[in-house]
């Protein structure tokens, strides 16, 4: 069950938004950043972004997470309406501690998939039910999804959310994330 706990104006470098904080049955608080009046609208641009402390906050160059987050906010800031759903599921759902352990294995030559396997963890443990609940809360059943990850599209389709368009998020690879991005494309099917 989705419960709204707080709502406030959120002026950002990308534009003016409203931030909502919801809690779900797992008692995790997730943020939803909204541009304009989205209630009942269809085919709105939506980014479903999973938390990445190292990238989003610290600016790590090992991944493209911050780049995707900033590009999404800038894009949404230019629209009349749209939404960014920020899910608290660090490290593809494995948590910060395991993510740093996986980084250590990557420093030894493992790719991001192999590192999770070495730790006895799933390759990708993220779950998007909260995003579906948020869309239903706002009366939205058709979106333009900002993603490179076909698994998100598949999950939403199974939950009866129509993805009428995929909006790719393009990042230029760096010397630090080129191997990571290549692994996501080849081993996880990301559309980069």
Active centre residues (catalytic): 124, 126
Residue 56: closest CA among 16, 84, 79? 84
- What's the rounded Cα separation, in Å, for the pair 46 and 135? 9
Among 8, 151, 124, 134, residue whose Cα is nearest residue 143: 134
Q: What share of the chain is helix, strand, coil (3-state, %, to 5)?
A: 35, 25, 40
Which residues have CB under 8 Å from 66's CB, separation 6+? 52, 55, 56, 59, 60
């Amino acid at each position: 069950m989705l419960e709204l706990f707080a709502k406030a104006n959120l002026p950002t470098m990308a534009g003016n938004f409203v931030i909502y904080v919801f809690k779900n049955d797992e008692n995790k608080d997730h943020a939803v950043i909204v541009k304009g009046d989205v209630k009942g609208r269809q085919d709105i641009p939506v980014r479903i972004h999973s938390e990445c402390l190292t990238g989003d906050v610290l600016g790590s160059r090992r991944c493209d997470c911050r780049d995707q987050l900033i590009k999404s906010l800038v894009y949404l800031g230019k629209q009349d309406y749209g939404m960014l759903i920020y899910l608290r599921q660090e490290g593809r759902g494995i948590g910060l501690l395991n993510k740093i352990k996986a980084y250590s294995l990557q420093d030894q030559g493992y790719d991001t998939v192999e590192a999770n396997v070495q730790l006895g963890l799933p390759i990708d443990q993220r779950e998007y039910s909260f995003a579906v609940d948020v869309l239903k809360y706002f009366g939205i059943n058709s979106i333009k999804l900002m993603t490179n990850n076909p698994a998100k599209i598949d999950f939403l389709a199974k939950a009866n959310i129509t993805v009428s368009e995929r909006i790719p998020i393009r990042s230029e690879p760096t010397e630090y994330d080129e191997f990571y991005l290549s692994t996501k494309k080849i081993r996880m099917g990301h559309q980069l």
